Amino acid sequence: MKILKWIGIGIIVILACIQVVRPDRTNPAVDRGKTMQANAQVPPEVQAIFERSCYDCHSNQTKWPWYTNVAPVSWFVADHVKDGREELSFSEWGAYPPKKADHKLEEICEMVEKGEMPLESYLILHSGAKLSEQDKQTLCNWTKAERARMAVAKLDHENNDDK
């Protein structure tokens, strides 16, 4: 019994000590001119899905719940947010070259259709972020329409440059 008591005390001490290592949980400033809303035609229903299911990891508007203050969970969440922002940021959309933006739109549809986004680990504590089949269809229809709109805008721009 004494060994279990000392193991328990050791675990508590270790958990207390690791609280000192704090990951960065900040939200960089949002330049409204760089956001997806400022640089794409995002209908309200699509914006609502993005805000509900994507923004915590893919924007500079992350909501940091209480459990993101507790290591080692804080490390896991901060790392996922960092990776998510690097992969796709709705807050930095305007900085993407047209070819990259087009590819990101294609990936958005692919990832939601395959059920790869939002991550299962995120949905455990954020069940409201789960995408319905209608949500997936709405996103894919929009990404296809936005890609087509961007292609026409590119052609118009190229034609105007030729004049």
Specify the pLDDT at position 73.
82
* DSSP string for 144-155: HHHHHHHHHHHH
Compute CA distances 127 → 1, 40, 120, 131, whole Å: 41, 28, 10, 9
* pLDDT higher than 90, residue 5: no
How many structural domains does the chain have?
A: 1
Return the structure tokens found at 98. Answer: 């047209």
| Enclosing domain of residue 33 | 2-162
Specify the pLDDT at position 1.
74
The 10s digit of each residue's pLDDT in 32-82 is 999 999 999 999 999 999 999 999 999 999 999 888 888 888 888 899 999
∠ Cα 139 141 144 (to 5°): 105
Specify the pLDDT at position 144.
97
- The whole-model pTM stands at 0.84
